[in-house]
Structure 1
Protein backbone atom coordinates (compact mmCIF):
# COMPACT_ATOMS: atom_id res chain seq x y z
CA UNK A 1 0.00 0.00 0.00
CA UNK A 2 1.50 3.38 -0.99
CA UNK A 3 2.28 5.76 1.85
CA UNK A 4 1.11 9.36 1.88
CA UNK A 5 3.70 12.07 1.23
CA UNK A 6 5.29 13.64 4.30
CA UNK A 7 5.73 17.39 4.78
CA UNK A 8 7.79 19.14 7.43
CA UNK A 9 6.69 22.62 8.49
CA UNK A 10 8.94 25.13 10.23
CA UNK A 11 7.21 28.10 11.79
CA UNK A 12 4.67 29.42 14.21
CA UNK A 13 2.18 27.57 16.39
CA UNK A 14 0.85 29.85 19.09
CA UNK A 15 -2.23 31.27 20.78
CA UNK A 16 -4.55 33.10 18.37
CA UNK A 17 -7.13 35.51 19.76
CA UNK A 18 -9.76 37.04 17.48
CA UNK A 19 -12.03 39.76 18.76
CA UNK A 20 -14.95 40.77 16.54
CA UNK A 21 -16.83 44.03 16.98
CA UNK A 22 -20.60 43.48 17.20
CA UNK A 23 -21.62 46.72 15.47
CA UNK A 24 -19.94 49.60 13.62
CA UNK A 25 -16.33 50.02 14.76
CA UNK A 26 -15.70 53.25 16.68
CA UNK A 27 -11.98 54.16 17.00
CA UNK A 28 -10.61 55.25 20.40
CA UNK A 29 -13.76 54.01 22.16
CA UNK A 30 -15.10 50.94 23.94
CA UNK A 31 -16.61 48.59 21.35
CA UNK A 32 -18.87 45.65 22.34
CA UNK A 33 -17.91 42.38 20.73
CA UNK A 34 -16.92 38.74 21.12
CA UNK A 35 -13.43 37.36 21.78
CA UNK A 36 -12.45 33.85 20.64
CA UNK A 37 -9.22 32.04 21.49
CA UNK A 38 -7.67 29.14 19.59
CA UNK A 39 -4.29 27.77 18.59
CA UNK A 40 -3.09 29.23 15.31
CA UNK A 41 -0.06 30.52 13.47
CA UNK A 42 0.40 30.73 9.72
CA UNK A 43 2.35 27.50 9.32
CA UNK A 44 0.21 25.58 11.80
CA UNK A 45 -3.02 26.68 10.13
CA UNK A 46 -1.67 25.75 6.71
CA UNK A 47 -0.43 22.42 8.05
CA UNK A 48 -3.85 21.53 9.46
CA UNK A 49 -5.37 22.21 6.04
CA UNK A 50 -2.71 19.98 4.48
CA UNK A 51 -3.49 17.11 6.87
CA UNK A 52 -7.21 17.43 6.04
CA UNK A 53 -6.25 16.71 2.42
CA UNK A 54 -4.51 13.41 3.25
CA UNK A 55 -0.85 14.34 3.75
CA UNK A 56 1.31 13.24 6.72
CA UNK A 57 2.90 16.15 8.54
CA UNK A 58 5.36 17.15 11.23
CA UNK A 59 6.00 20.56 12.79
CA UNK A 60 9.11 22.19 14.17
CA UNK A 61 8.24 25.25 16.25
CA UNK A 62 9.13 26.81 19.61
CA UNK A 63 6.94 27.61 22.61
CA UNK A 64 7.12 28.48 26.30
CA UNK A 65 6.72 26.28 29.35
CA UNK A 66 3.43 27.87 30.37
CA UNK A 67 -0.23 26.84 30.21
CA UNK A 68 -0.51 28.36 26.74
CA UNK A 69 2.34 26.11 25.62
CA UNK A 70 0.46 23.05 26.90
CA UNK A 71 -2.60 24.19 24.94
CA UNK A 72 -0.49 24.48 21.78
CA UNK A 73 1.00 21.01 22.31
CA UNK A 74 -2.47 19.48 22.72
CA UNK A 75 -3.71 21.14 19.53
CA UNK A 76 -0.76 19.81 17.53
CA UNK A 77 -1.42 16.30 18.84
CA UNK A 78 -5.17 16.50 18.17
CA UNK A 79 -4.47 17.56 14.59
CA UNK A 80 -2.48 14.36 14.00
CA UNK A 81 0.77 16.23 13.44
CA UNK A 82 4.14 14.96 14.73
CA UNK A 83 5.50 17.56 17.18
CA UNK A 84 9.24 18.29 16.86
CA UNK A 85 9.04 21.62 18.70
CA UNK A 86 11.40 22.92 21.37
CA UNK A 87 10.00 24.07 24.74
CA UNK A 88 11.65 26.89 26.72
CA UNK A 89 10.42 26.50 30.29
CA UNK A 90 11.33 30.05 31.33
CA UNK A 91 9.67 31.77 28.37
CA UNK A 92 6.15 32.85 27.41
CA UNK A 93 4.43 31.17 24.48
CA UNK A 94 3.95 33.60 21.55
CA UNK A 95 0.49 34.93 20.80
CA UNK A 96 -1.35 36.89 18.14
CA UNK A 97 -4.43 39.03 18.80
CA UNK A 98 -6.55 40.25 15.88
CA UNK A 99 -9.44 42.70 16.08
CA UNK A 100 -11.90 42.46 13.19
CA UNK A 101 -14.96 44.48 12.30
CA UNK A 102 -18.52 43.20 12.01
CA UNK A 103 -17.93 42.39 8.32
CA UNK A 104 -14.95 40.15 9.09
CA UNK A 105 -12.25 42.60 7.93
CA UNK A 106 -9.09 43.11 9.99
CA UNK A 107 -8.88 46.31 12.04
CA UNK A 108 -5.53 45.67 13.73
CA UNK A 109 -3.32 42.74 14.66
CA UNK A 110 -1.01 42.57 17.70
CA UNK A 111 1.87 40.07 17.60
CA UNK A 112 3.77 39.03 20.75
CA UNK A 113 6.36 36.90 18.95
CA UNK A 114 9.61 37.59 20.77
CA UNK A 115 10.41 33.92 21.41
CA UNK A 116 10.43 33.17 17.68
CA UNK A 117 13.04 35.86 17.04
CA UNK A 118 15.11 34.64 19.97
CA UNK A 119 15.00 30.88 19.48
CA UNK A 120 14.24 29.92 15.87
CA UNK A 121 17.66 30.68 14.30
CA UNK A 122 19.35 28.26 16.68
CA UNK A 123 16.64 25.58 16.54
CA UNK A 124 16.71 25.14 12.76
CA UNK A 125 20.45 24.45 12.95
CA UNK A 126 20.01 21.55 15.40
CA UNK A 127 20.81 18.02 14.25
CA UNK A 128 17.17 17.05 14.96
CA UNK A 129 15.97 19.66 12.50
CA UNK A 130 18.50 18.67 9.82
CA UNK A 131 17.45 15.02 10.12
CA UNK A 132 13.77 15.90 9.79
CA UNK A 133 14.48 18.06 6.75
CA UNK A 134 16.41 15.24 5.08
CA UNK A 135 13.54 12.78 5.60
CA UNK A 136 10.71 15.05 4.39
CA UNK A 137 9.22 14.97 0.89
CA UNK A 138 8.59 18.72 1.09
CA UNK A 139 9.33 21.67 3.38
CA UNK A 140 6.82 24.37 4.33
CA UNK A 141 8.65 27.35 5.84
CA UNK A 142 7.02 30.38 7.46
CA UNK A 143 9.00 33.34 6.10
CA UNK A 144 6.73 35.81 7.93
CA UNK A 145 8.08 38.99 6.36
CA UNK A 146 6.70 42.28 7.73
CA UNK A 147 3.89 43.89 5.74
CA UNK A 148 6.20 46.76 4.79
CA UNK A 149 8.54 44.31 3.05
CA UNK A 150 5.79 43.54 0.48
CA UNK A 151 6.62 39.82 0.67
CA UNK A 152 7.37 38.84 -2.96
CA UNK A 153 8.47 42.39 -3.75
CA UNK A 154 11.19 41.99 -1.12
CA UNK A 155 12.67 39.15 -3.15
CA UNK A 156 12.50 41.25 -6.30
CA UNK A 157 14.10 44.21 -4.57
CA UNK A 158 11.61 46.64 -6.09
CA UNK A 159 8.24 48.19 -5.30
CA UNK A 160 6.38 46.52 -8.16
CA UNK A 161 3.35 44.27 -8.48
CA UNK A 162 1.38 42.10 -10.89
CA UNK A 163 3.00 40.88 -14.10
CA UNK A 164 6.08 43.06 -13.53
CA UNK A 165 6.68 41.33 -10.19
CA UNK A 166 6.28 37.90 -11.77
CA UNK A 167 8.78 38.83 -14.47
CA UNK A 168 11.34 39.92 -11.90
CA UNK A 169 10.92 36.75 -9.83
CA UNK A 170 11.40 34.62 -12.94
CA UNK A 171 14.52 36.61 -13.77
CA UNK A 172 15.81 35.59 -10.32
CA UNK A 173 15.49 31.94 -11.46
CA UNK A 174 12.27 31.08 -9.60
CA UNK A 175 10.57 28.49 -11.82
CA UNK A 176 7.14 28.65 -10.19
CA UNK A 177 5.27 30.71 -7.65
CA UNK A 178 2.01 32.24 -6.50
CA UNK A 179 1.25 35.86 -5.60
CA UNK A 180 -1.91 36.81 -3.70
CA UNK A 181 -3.32 40.23 -2.89
CA UNK A 182 -6.51 39.95 -0.86
CA UNK A 183 -9.59 39.52 -3.05
CA UNK A 184 -7.71 40.31 -6.27
CA UNK A 185 -7.06 37.55 -8.83
CA UNK A 186 -4.47 35.02 -7.65
CA UNK A 187 -1.46 35.27 -9.93
CA UNK A 188 0.68 32.20 -10.63
CA UNK A 189 3.55 31.27 -12.87
CA UNK A 190 5.25 28.06 -13.92
CA UNK A 191 7.43 26.88 -16.78
CA UNK A 192 4.47 27.19 -19.15
CA UNK A 193 3.87 30.87 -18.43
CA UNK A 194 1.82 33.23 -16.29
CA UNK A 195 -1.79 32.57 -15.29
CA UNK A 196 -4.48 33.93 -13.01
CA UNK A 197 -7.42 32.48 -11.08
CA UNK A 198 -10.32 34.76 -10.21
CA UNK A 199 -11.51 33.97 -6.67
CA UNK A 200 -15.28 33.46 -6.50
CA UNK A 201 -17.26 35.75 -4.21
CA UNK A 202 -17.77 34.08 -0.81
CA UNK A 203 -21.35 32.98 -0.17
CA UNK A 204 -20.99 34.77 3.17
CA UNK A 205 -18.13 36.47 5.01
CA UNK A 206 -17.56 35.29 8.57
CA UNK A 207 -13.87 36.01 9.15
CA UNK A 208 -11.03 36.65 6.69
CA UNK A 209 -8.45 35.35 9.18
CA UNK A 210 -6.67 32.25 7.90
CA UNK A 211 -7.73 32.53 4.25
CA UNK A 212 -4.15 32.77 3.03
CA UNK A 213 -3.09 29.90 5.28
CA UNK A 214 -5.88 27.71 3.90
CA UNK A 215 -4.89 28.58 0.33
CA UNK A 216 -1.28 27.64 1.05
CA UNK A 217 -2.15 24.39 2.79
CA UNK A 218 -4.59 23.07 0.21
CA UNK A 219 -2.32 24.06 -2.68
CA UNK A 220 0.72 22.35 -1.18
CA UNK A 221 -1.31 19.22 -0.39
CA UNK A 222 -2.52 19.04 -3.99
CA UNK A 223 1.03 19.48 -5.31
CA UNK A 224 2.18 16.61 -3.09
CA UNK A 225 -0.59 14.46 -4.56
CA UNK A 226 0.90 15.10 -7.99
CA UNK A 227 -1.38 17.81 -9.37
CA UNK A 228 0.18 20.53 -11.55
CA UNK A 229 0.32 24.02 -10.05
CA UNK A 230 -2.66 25.38 -12.01
CA UNK A 231 -4.99 22.64 -10.75
CA UNK A 232 -3.47 22.65 -7.26
CA UNK A 233 -4.02 26.39 -6.93
CA UNK A 234 -7.72 25.98 -7.76
CA UNK A 235 -7.98 23.73 -4.68
CA UNK A 236 -6.16 26.39 -2.67
CA UNK A 237 -8.60 29.09 -3.77
CA UNK A 238 -11.53 26.83 -2.82
CA UNK A 239 -10.06 26.26 0.65
CA UNK A 240 -9.53 30.01 1.08
CA UNK A 241 -13.19 30.65 0.28
CA UNK A 242 -14.26 28.07 2.86
CA UNK A 243 -12.01 29.78 5.43
CA UNK A 244 -13.60 33.17 4.75
CA UNK A 245 -17.04 31.63 5.15
CA UNK A 246 -16.10 30.01 8.48
CA UNK A 247 -15.65 31.61 11.90
CA UNK A 248 -12.80 29.14 12.46
CA UNK A 249 -9.26 29.94 11.30
CA UNK A 250 -9.03 26.42 9.85
CA UNK A 251 -12.41 25.54 8.30
CA UNK A 252 -14.03 22.16 8.79
CA UNK A 253 -15.31 20.59 5.58
CA UNK A 254 -16.31 17.27 4.06
CA UNK A 255 -15.25 15.94 0.69
CA UNK A 256 -18.67 16.97 -0.57
CA UNK A 257 -18.56 20.55 0.69
CA UNK A 258 -15.01 20.96 -0.59
CA UNK A 259 -16.11 19.68 -3.99
CA UNK A 260 -18.96 22.20 -4.05
CA UNK A 261 -16.56 25.04 -3.27
CA UNK A 262 -14.09 23.82 -5.90
CA UNK A 263 -16.84 23.81 -8.52
CA UNK A 264 -17.25 27.55 -7.97
CA UNK A 265 -13.57 28.27 -8.73
CA UNK A 266 -12.97 29.06 -12.42
CA UNK A 267 -10.19 27.42 -14.39
CA UNK A 268 -6.88 29.25 -14.62
CA UNK A 269 -6.72 31.81 -17.40
CA UNK A 270 -3.61 32.75 -19.33
CA UNK A 271 -2.20 36.20 -18.59
CA UNK A 272 -0.76 37.76 -21.73
Structure 2
Protein backbone atom coordinates (compact mmCIF):
# COMPACT_ATOMS: atom_id res chain seq x y z
CA UNK A 1 0.00 0.00 0.00
CA UNK A 2 1.31 3.45 -0.89
CA UNK A 3 0.94 5.59 2.18
CA UNK A 4 -0.35 9.14 2.44
CA UNK A 5 1.13 12.05 4.36
CA UNK A 6 -1.12 12.74 7.33
CA UNK A 7 -1.06 15.60 9.84
CA UNK A 8 -2.53 14.82 13.28
CA UNK A 9 -3.34 17.64 15.71
CA UNK A 10 -5.01 17.11 19.08
CA UNK A 11 -4.89 14.91 22.13
CA UNK A 12 -1.63 13.19 23.04
CA UNK A 13 -1.47 12.44 26.74
CA UNK A 14 -1.00 9.69 29.32
CA UNK A 15 -3.75 7.29 30.39
CA UNK A 16 -3.57 5.66 33.83
CA UNK A 17 -5.99 2.89 34.69
CA UNK A 18 -6.09 1.47 38.19
CA UNK A 19 -7.98 -1.82 38.56
CA UNK A 20 -9.27 -2.92 41.96
CA UNK A 21 -8.62 -6.62 42.53
CA UNK A 22 -11.37 -7.40 45.07
CA UNK A 23 -14.78 -5.99 45.92
CA UNK A 24 -14.61 -2.20 46.01
CA UNK A 25 -14.45 -0.72 49.50
CA UNK A 26 -15.44 2.98 49.26
CA UNK A 27 -13.50 5.35 51.47
CA UNK A 28 -10.76 2.78 52.12
CA UNK A 29 -7.52 1.51 50.64
CA UNK A 30 -8.15 -1.11 47.96
CA UNK A 31 -5.59 -3.60 46.64
CA UNK A 32 -5.09 -3.28 42.91
CA UNK A 33 -2.69 -2.56 40.07
CA UNK A 34 -1.87 0.27 37.69
CA UNK A 35 -1.55 0.25 33.91
CA UNK A 36 0.01 3.30 32.24
CA UNK A 37 0.22 4.04 28.50
CA UNK A 38 0.11 6.93 26.07
CA UNK A 39 -3.34 7.87 24.78
CA UNK A 40 -5.47 10.57 23.20
CA UNK A 41 -7.80 10.30 20.21
CA UNK A 42 -5.60 12.04 17.65
CA UNK A 43 -2.47 10.33 18.97
CA UNK A 44 -4.02 6.86 18.92
CA UNK A 45 -5.17 7.46 15.34
CA UNK A 46 -1.73 8.82 14.39
CA UNK A 47 0.02 5.71 15.68
CA UNK A 48 -2.44 3.36 13.97
CA UNK A 49 -2.05 5.21 10.68
CA UNK A 50 1.74 5.08 10.94
CA UNK A 51 1.56 1.31 11.51
CA UNK A 52 -0.53 1.08 8.35
CA UNK A 53 2.26 2.63 6.29
CA UNK A 54 1.38 6.32 6.27
CA UNK A 55 3.84 9.14 6.97
CA UNK A 56 2.28 10.79 10.03
CA UNK A 57 3.28 14.02 11.73
CA UNK A 58 1.91 14.85 15.20
CA UNK A 59 1.45 18.37 16.56
CA UNK A 60 0.17 18.46 20.15
CA UNK A 61 0.88 20.41 23.35
CA UNK A 62 3.09 18.76 25.95
CA UNK A 63 4.56 19.54 29.35
CA UNK A 64 8.19 19.32 30.35
CA UNK A 65 7.72 16.29 32.60
CA UNK A 66 8.04 12.50 32.70
CA UNK A 67 4.58 12.05 31.17
CA UNK A 68 5.74 14.04 28.19
CA UNK A 69 8.61 11.60 27.79
CA UNK A 70 6.11 8.69 27.78
CA UNK A 71 4.24 10.32 24.88
CA UNK A 72 7.48 11.05 23.00
CA UNK A 73 8.66 7.45 23.40
CA UNK A 74 5.32 6.09 22.17
CA UNK A 75 5.47 8.33 19.09
CA UNK A 76 9.00 7.15 18.29
CA UNK A 77 8.06 3.49 18.76
CA UNK A 78 5.15 3.82 16.33
CA UNK A 79 7.13 5.75 13.71
CA UNK A 80 5.24 9.04 14.13
CA UNK A 81 7.13 12.29 13.45
CA UNK A 82 6.71 14.10 16.78
CA UNK A 83 6.73 17.93 16.69
CA UNK A 84 5.06 19.10 19.93
CA UNK A 85 4.40 22.51 21.41
CA UNK A 86 6.36 22.05 24.65
CA UNK A 87 5.57 24.04 27.79
CA UNK A 88 8.44 23.29 30.17
CA UNK A 89 6.65 24.74 33.21
CA UNK A 90 3.42 22.77 32.66
CA UNK A 91 2.29 19.19 33.13
CA UNK A 92 1.39 16.94 30.20
CA UNK A 93 -2.36 16.22 30.03
CA UNK A 94 -3.45 12.96 31.63
CA UNK A 95 -6.49 10.80 32.26
CA UNK A 96 -6.62 8.73 35.43
CA UNK A 97 -9.36 6.14 36.02
CA UNK A 98 -10.16 3.75 38.86
CA UNK A 99 -11.93 0.63 37.61
CA UNK A 100 -13.76 -2.04 39.60
CA UNK A 101 -12.94 -5.72 39.25
CA UNK A 102 -15.85 -6.19 36.83
CA UNK A 103 -14.60 -3.38 34.59
CA UNK A 104 -17.04 -0.66 35.65
CA UNK A 105 -15.65 2.82 36.21
CA UNK A 106 -15.55 4.01 39.83
CA UNK A 107 -14.20 7.51 39.21
CA UNK A 108 -11.91 9.27 36.76
CA UNK A 109 -9.99 12.52 36.64
CA UNK A 110 -9.10 14.26 33.38
CA UNK A 111 -6.33 16.87 33.64
CA UNK A 112 -6.59 18.43 30.18
CA UNK A 113 -5.97 22.11 30.91
CA UNK A 114 -2.88 22.29 28.71
CA UNK A 115 -4.97 21.73 25.59
CA UNK A 116 -6.52 25.16 26.14
CA UNK A 117 -3.13 26.67 25.27
CA UNK A 118 -3.32 25.19 21.76
CA UNK A 119 -4.92 28.34 20.37
CA UNK A 120 -5.70 29.15 16.72
CA UNK A 121 -2.77 31.58 16.79
CA UNK A 122 -0.36 28.64 16.91
CA UNK A 123 -1.56 27.51 13.50
CA UNK A 124 -0.03 30.69 12.08
CA UNK A 125 3.50 29.57 12.86
CA UNK A 126 5.50 28.99 9.72
CA UNK A 127 6.30 25.35 10.51
CA UNK A 128 2.61 24.56 11.06
CA UNK A 129 1.54 26.33 7.87
CA UNK A 130 4.16 24.35 5.97
CA UNK A 131 2.89 21.13 7.55
CA UNK A 132 -0.64 21.84 6.28
CA UNK A 133 0.68 22.59 2.80
CA UNK A 134 2.74 19.37 2.68
CA UNK A 135 0.14 16.92 4.00
CA UNK A 136 -2.44 14.85 2.12
CA UNK A 137 -5.00 14.81 4.95
CA UNK A 138 -5.60 16.15 8.46
CA UNK A 139 -7.06 14.47 11.53
CA UNK A 140 -7.93 16.21 14.79
CA UNK A 141 -10.04 15.60 17.88
CA UNK A 142 -12.32 17.43 20.27
CA UNK A 143 -9.73 17.62 23.03
CA UNK A 144 -8.81 20.99 21.52
CA UNK A 145 -10.85 24.19 22.01
CA UNK A 146 -13.74 24.78 19.60
CA UNK A 147 -12.07 27.81 18.05
CA UNK A 148 -8.91 25.76 17.37
CA UNK A 149 -10.90 22.91 15.84
CA UNK A 150 -12.59 25.48 13.58
CA UNK A 151 -9.23 27.00 12.62
CA UNK A 152 -7.84 23.54 11.77
CA UNK A 153 -10.84 22.82 9.56
CA UNK A 154 -10.39 26.20 7.85
CA UNK A 155 -6.66 25.63 7.31
CA UNK A 156 -7.33 22.20 5.80
CA UNK A 157 -9.97 23.62 3.47
CA UNK A 158 -7.73 26.53 2.45
CA UNK A 159 -5.06 23.99 1.52
CA UNK A 160 -7.60 21.76 -0.28
CA UNK A 161 -6.92 18.86 2.12
CA UNK A 162 -9.58 16.57 3.67
CA UNK A 163 -10.05 17.00 7.43
CA UNK A 164 -11.32 14.22 9.71
CA UNK A 165 -12.45 14.51 13.34
CA UNK A 166 -12.70 12.22 16.38
CA UNK A 167 -15.54 13.10 18.76
CA UNK A 168 -13.87 12.04 22.10
CA UNK A 169 -17.00 12.41 24.30
CA UNK A 170 -20.58 13.74 24.32
CA UNK A 171 -19.42 16.84 26.23
CA UNK A 172 -16.60 17.59 23.79
CA UNK A 173 -18.04 16.66 20.40
CA UNK A 174 -20.07 19.89 20.34
CA UNK A 175 -16.73 21.67 19.76
CA UNK A 176 -17.06 20.42 16.17
CA UNK A 177 -20.52 21.93 15.72
CA UNK A 178 -19.47 25.04 13.78
CA UNK A 179 -17.00 23.04 11.68
CA UNK A 180 -19.25 20.16 10.57
CA UNK A 181 -19.75 21.40 6.98
CA UNK A 182 -15.96 21.61 6.54
CA UNK A 183 -15.19 18.06 7.70
CA UNK A 184 -14.57 15.14 5.37
CA UNK A 185 -15.59 12.75 8.14
CA UNK A 186 -16.41 12.61 11.85
CA UNK A 187 -16.10 9.46 13.97
CA UNK A 188 -18.47 9.18 16.94
CA UNK A 189 -20.61 6.85 19.01
CA UNK A 190 -24.37 7.17 19.48
CA UNK A 191 -24.10 9.24 22.65
CA UNK A 192 -21.85 11.71 20.83
CA UNK A 193 -24.18 11.78 17.82
CA UNK A 194 -27.10 12.58 20.15
CA UNK A 195 -25.15 15.48 21.61
CA UNK A 196 -24.67 16.91 18.11
CA UNK A 197 -28.26 16.66 16.88
CA UNK A 198 -30.02 17.03 20.26
CA UNK A 199 -32.30 14.12 19.45
CA UNK A 200 -32.32 10.40 18.75
CA UNK A 201 -33.88 8.59 15.78
CA UNK A 202 -36.57 5.97 16.33
CA UNK A 203 -34.57 3.82 13.89
CA UNK A 204 -30.74 3.90 13.92
CA UNK A 205 -30.83 3.79 10.12
CA UNK A 206 -31.91 7.43 10.29
CA UNK A 207 -28.63 8.62 11.87
CA UNK A 208 -27.28 9.68 8.44
CA UNK A 209 -30.29 11.92 7.77
CA UNK A 210 -30.11 13.54 11.21
CA UNK A 211 -26.39 14.19 10.99
CA UNK A 212 -26.63 15.52 7.45
CA UNK A 213 -29.30 17.93 8.71
CA UNK A 214 -26.73 19.62 10.99
CA UNK A 215 -24.20 19.97 8.18
CA UNK A 216 -22.10 16.78 8.37
CA UNK A 217 -21.55 15.29 4.90
CA UNK A 218 -19.70 12.13 5.96
CA UNK A 219 -19.46 10.26 9.24
CA UNK A 220 -19.35 6.99 11.14
CA UNK A 221 -21.57 6.16 14.13
CA UNK A 222 -20.52 3.22 16.29
CA UNK A 223 -23.12 1.50 18.46
CA UNK A 224 -21.23 -0.79 20.85
CA UNK A 225 -21.90 -4.41 19.90
CA UNK A 226 -24.61 -3.33 17.47
CA UNK A 227 -24.15 -2.53 13.79
CA UNK A 228 -22.00 0.47 12.90
CA UNK A 229 -23.31 3.00 10.37
CA UNK A 230 -21.34 5.06 7.85
CA UNK A 231 -22.56 7.64 5.37
CA UNK A 232 -21.42 10.22 2.87
CA UNK A 233 -23.26 12.71 0.71
CA UNK A 234 -24.60 10.04 -1.65
CA UNK A 235 -25.19 6.86 0.36
CA UNK A 236 -25.25 5.13 3.71
CA UNK A 237 -24.18 1.65 4.79
CA UNK A 238 -24.54 -0.51 7.89
CA UNK A 239 -22.24 -3.28 9.05
CA UNK A 240 -22.64 -5.83 11.84
CA UNK A 241 -19.06 -6.83 12.75
CA UNK A 242 -18.42 -10.36 14.02
CA UNK A 243 -18.58 -10.79 17.79
CA UNK A 244 -15.19 -11.94 19.02
CA UNK A 245 -14.05 -12.51 22.56
CA UNK A 246 -12.39 -9.37 23.93
CA UNK A 247 -8.98 -10.39 25.20
CA UNK A 248 -7.80 -6.89 26.08
CA UNK A 249 -10.36 -4.10 26.43
CA UNK A 250 -12.25 -1.75 24.14
CA UNK A 251 -9.97 1.24 24.85
CA UNK A 252 -8.83 2.64 21.50
CA UNK A 253 -11.22 0.57 19.39
CA UNK A 254 -13.03 3.65 18.07
CA UNK A 255 -9.73 5.34 17.22
CA UNK A 256 -8.63 2.17 15.39
CA UNK A 257 -11.87 2.12 13.41
CA UNK A 258 -11.31 5.76 12.46
CA UNK A 259 -7.78 4.95 11.32
CA UNK A 260 -8.79 1.97 9.19
CA UNK A 261 -11.70 3.85 7.62
CA UNK A 262 -9.63 6.97 6.91
CA UNK A 263 -6.79 4.91 5.44
CA UNK A 264 -9.20 3.18 3.06
CA UNK A 265 -10.84 6.43 1.99
CA UNK A 266 -7.47 8.01 1.24
CA UNK A 267 -6.73 4.98 -0.94
CA UNK A 268 -9.92 5.68 -2.91
CA UNK A 269 -11.95 2.72 -1.67
CA UNK A 270 -15.77 2.92 -1.66
CA UNK A 271 -17.71 3.65 1.51
CA UNK A 272 -18.64 0.04 2.29
CA UNK A 273 -15.07 -1.18 1.92
CA UNK A 274 -13.78 1.69 4.07
CA UNK A 275 -16.21 0.67 6.80
CA UNK A 276 -15.11 -2.97 6.54
CA UNK A 277 -11.48 -1.95 6.93
CA UNK A 278 -12.34 0.25 9.90
CA UNK A 279 -14.21 -2.62 11.54
CA UNK A 280 -11.22 -4.93 10.94
CA UNK A 281 -8.87 -2.43 12.60
CA UNK A 282 -11.23 -2.21 15.58
CA UNK A 283 -11.26 -6.02 15.90
CA UNK A 284 -7.48 -6.02 16.09
CA UNK A 285 -7.62 -3.29 18.76
CA UNK A 286 -10.04 -5.13 21.06
CA UNK A 287 -7.85 -8.23 20.94
CA UNK A 288 -4.95 -6.20 22.32
CA UNK A 289 -4.38 -5.05 25.93
CA UNK A 290 -3.10 -1.74 24.52
CA UNK A 291 -5.01 1.21 23.09
CA UNK A 292 -2.91 0.89 19.91
CA UNK A 293 -2.23 -2.72 18.94
CA UNK A 294 1.48 -3.29 18.36
CA UNK A 295 0.74 -6.05 15.85
CA UNK A 296 -1.33 -3.81 13.55
CA UNK A 297 0.10 -3.72 10.02
CA UNK A 298 -1.34 -3.85 6.48
CA UNK A 299 -1.06 -7.62 5.93
CA UNK A 300 -2.76 -8.46 9.24
CA UNK A 301 -5.47 -5.90 8.53
CA UNK A 302 -6.12 -7.50 5.15
CA UNK A 303 -6.41 -10.95 6.74
CA UNK A 304 -8.79 -9.76 9.46
CA UNK A 305 -10.97 -8.10 6.82
CA UNK A 306 -11.75 -11.65 5.70
CA UNK A 307 -13.71 -12.03 8.96
CA UNK A 308 -15.79 -8.93 8.33
CA UNK A 309 -19.00 -9.29 6.28
CA UNK A 310 -20.00 -6.98 3.45
CA UNK A 311 -21.73 -3.77 4.45
CA UNK A 312 -25.47 -3.50 3.87
CA UNK A 313 -26.58 -0.61 1.69
CA UNK A 314 -29.23 1.60 3.31
CA UNK A 315 -31.91 3.30 1.24
TM-score, normalization by structure 1:
0.87
Find the counterpart in structure 2 of residue 129 from structure 1.
128
**C-alpha contact 2:53 2:298 (8 A) present in aligned 1:** no
User: What is the 5 A alignment of 1:9-158?
Assistant: 9-23=8-22, 25=24, 30-102=29-101, 104=103, 106-144=105-143, 146-148=169-171, 150-156=191-197, 158=198
Instruction: Count matched residues.
Output: 270
1:163–1:30 distance in 2 versus 1, CA, 3 Å: farther
Find the counterpart in structure 1 of residue 224 from structure 2.
182
Match of 1:206 among 248, 261, 266: 248
**RCO (CA 8 Å, sep 6+): is it higher in 1 or 2?**
1
Return the offset for 1:133: 1.5
Q: What is the CA–CA distance in structure 2 between the aligned matches of 1:146 and 1:265, rounded to whole Å? A: 27
Given the alignment of the two structures, is residue 265 of structure 1 paired with residue 308 of structure 2, yes or no? yes
Q: What is the CA–CA distance in structure 2 between the aligned matches of 1:69 and 1:188, rounded to whole Å? A: 35
1:250–1:106 distance in 2 versus 1, CA, 3 Å: farther
Q: What is the CA–CA distance in structure 2 between the aligned matches of 1:204 and 1:210, rounded to whole Å? A: 13
Return the offset for 1:3: 6.1
Q: Deviations over 1:165-188 (max 9, x none)?
A: 321222344332111132221111
TM-score, normalization by structure 2:
0.76
Given the alignment of the two structures, is residue 160 of structure 1 paired with residue 200 of structure 2, yes or no? yes
| DSSP 3-state at the match of 2:17 | strand
Return the offset for 1:269: 0.8
**C-alpha contact 2:97 2:105 (8 A) present in aligned 1:** yes
Deviates further, 6-15 or 219-228: 219-228
Q: What is the CA–CA distance in structure 1 between the aligned matches of 2:312 and 2:8, rounded to whole Å? A: 31
1:37–1:44 distance in 2 versus 1, CA, 3 Å: same
Q: Deviations over 1:41-95 (max 9, x none)?
A: 1111111111111111001100011122223222222221112211011111111
Q: Deviations over 1:9-61 (max 9, x none)?
A: 11011111122333555655544332111111111111111111111100110
Return the offset for 1:255: 5.0
Q: Note the residue ranges of structure 2 that are not aligned, 5 or more in a row.
A: 144-167, 175-190
| DSSP 3-state at the match of 1:124 | helix
| DSSP 3-state at the match of 1:54 | coil
Return the offset for 1:226: 2.1
Q: What is the CA–CA distance in structure 1 between the aligned matches of 2:214 and 2:276, rounded to whole Å? A: 26
Find the counterpart in structure 1 of residue 274 from structure 2.
232
Match of 1:222 among 256, 261, 264: 264
1:25–1:210 distance in 2 versus 1, CA, 3 Å: farther
Q: What is the CA–CA distance in structure 1 between the aligned matches of 2:30 and 2:242, rounded to whole Å? A: 32
Q: Note the residue ranges of structure 1 that are not aligned, 5 or more in a row.
A: none
Name the Cα RMSD after superposition.
Answer: 2.5
**C-alpha contact 1:54 1:221 (8 A) present in aligned 2:** no
**C-alpha contact 1:103 1:206 (8 A) present in aligned 2:** no
Return the offset for 1:121: 4.0
Q: What is the CA–CA distance in structure 1 between the aligned matches of 2:255 and 2:25, rounded to whole Å? A: 29
Given the alignment of the two structures, is residue 250 of structure 1 paired with residue 292 of structure 2, yes or no? yes
Find the counterpart in structure 1 of residue 160 from structure 2.
none
Given the alignment of the two structures, is residue 7 of structure 1 paired with residue 2 of structure 2, yes or no? no
Q: What is the CA–CA distance in structure 2 between the aligned matches of 1:184 and 1:166, rounded to whole Å? A: 16
**C-alpha contact 1:23 1:102 (8 A) present in aligned 2:** yes
